[in-house]
């Protein structure tokens, strides 16, 4: 049985949907914080059990009978995320999982200005010490497009700090690739980079936005401190603004830059482009 956490979210939700196309529903289970939100999966025959990264006993129960466990990285900014990840890994080991897969991030490492990359690296370290087979799905960068690009639809500008090349992926593509690995014949031990064939920059998003809307959208580079001050004036806590700034700095230092053919090979097609993502975002 394959058990996935975070199945009510976009990323692992896409994985579960793809798994349902490839496997009988009774071979799939989900561990979710709120089982009511997974009722649509239970109606289709998926085993739904409650589990959170803060409750090891519930996790072990939700992972019972798992051959493979897919762990989504925690997005709880109020929690000790590394401790949560370690509990989830340990629970999967205790439940007898043969393999643990984890949704990491491309560029994971300890020498980085962007804190999540170090958390992913520490989680991968715990995986490597778990005693079972493991796969770290180092997905390209993804996030909320409005947060990344700002109010470009009203301003016709993407006014953000200077950026560098970053490997941006669509969550749906990352989820589909994870499903292909889960049902495949192996060969994905350790770190797997899931990124497009070329990195992009915010200027590429501006060009894509111009094409999609038929109106010019400009990329405007804003000084780091000027941008932080503007975010604070708009009501964003300074700590949150500086956290976002650390991401832009990481792109400038090349932490998110790179390419790899694995994602396209798993998808059997080219990954979605910024233009594809913006078109879907505007249509939603």
| Owning domain of residue 23 | 2-142+170-195+259-272
For residue 217, tell me if it sits in a domain.
Answer: no
For residue 22, tell me if it sits in a domain.
Answer: yes
d(CA 148, CA 95): 39
- The pTM score is 0.94
In order, the DSSP letters of 39-99 are HHHHTTT-EEEE--TT-HHHHHHHTTT-SEEEEPPP--TTS-HHHHHHHHHHHHHHTT-SE
CA 213 vs. chain centroid, Å, equals 27
For residue 229, tell me if it sits in a domain.
Answer: no
Neighbours of 279 (CB within 10 A): 17
Condensed to tens digits (0 to 9), the pLDDT of residues 20-49 reads: 999 999 999 999 999 999 999 999 999 999
For residue 116, tell me if it sits in a domain.
Answer: yes
DSSP 166: B
For residue 107, tell me if it sits in a domain.
Answer: yes
Q: How many domains does the chain have?
A: 1
Least Cα distance to 177 among 265, 64, 80 occurs for: 265
For residue 218, tell me if it sits in a domain.
Answer: no
d(CA 199, CA 140): 9
Helix (H, G, I), strand (E, B) or coil at 236: coil
Indicate which CATH number applies to the domain containing 134.
Answer: 3.40.50.720
pLDDT, one tens digit for every residue, the chain (284 residues): 999 999 999 999 999 999 999 999 999 999 999 999 999 999 999 999 999 999 999 999 999 999 999 999 998 878 899 999 999 999 999 999 999 999 999 999 999 999 999 999 999 999 999 999 999 999 998 878 888 999 999 999 999 999 999 999 999 999 999 999 999 987 899 999 999 999 999 999 999 999 999 999 999 999 999 999 999 999 999 999 999 999 999 999 999 898 999 999 999 999 999 999 999 988 87
For residue 180, tell me if it sits in a domain.
Answer: yes
């Amino acid at each position: 049985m394959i058990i996935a956490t975070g199945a009510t979210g976009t990323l692992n939700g896409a994985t579960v949907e793809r798994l349902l196309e490839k496997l009988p529903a009774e071979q799939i289970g989900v561990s979710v914080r709120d089982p009511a939100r997974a009722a649509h999966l239970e109606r289709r025959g998926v085993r739904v059990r409650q589990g959170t990264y803060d409750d090891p006993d519930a996790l072990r129960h939700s992972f019972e009978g798992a051959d493979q466990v897919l762990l989504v990285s925690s997005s709880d900014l109020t929690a000790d995320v590394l401790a949560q990840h370690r509990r989830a890994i340990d629970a999967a080991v205790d439940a007898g999982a043969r393999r643990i897969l984890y949704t990491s991030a491309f560029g994971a490492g300890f020498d980085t200005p962007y804190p999540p990359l170090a958390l992913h690296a520490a989680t991968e370290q715990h995986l490597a010490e778990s005693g079972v087979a493991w796969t770290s799905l180092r997905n390209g960068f993804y996030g909320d497009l409005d947060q990344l690009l700002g109010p470009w639809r009203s301003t016709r500008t993407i006014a953000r700090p200077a950026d560098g090349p970053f490997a941006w992926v669509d969550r749906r593509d990352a989820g589909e690739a994870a499903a292909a690995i889960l049902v495949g014949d192996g060969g994905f031990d350790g770190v797997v980079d899931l990124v497009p064939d070329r990195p992009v920059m915010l200027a590429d998003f501006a060009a894509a936005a111009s094409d999609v809307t038929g109106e010019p959208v400009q990329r405007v580079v804003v000084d780091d401190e000027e941008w932080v001050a503007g975010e604070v004036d708009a009501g964003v806590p300074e700590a949150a603004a500086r956290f976002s700034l650390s991401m832009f700095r990481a792109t400038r230092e090349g932490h998110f830059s790179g390419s790899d053919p694995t994602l396209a090979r798993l998808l059997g097609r080219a990954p979605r482009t910024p233009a594809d993502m913006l078109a879907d975002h505007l249509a939603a």
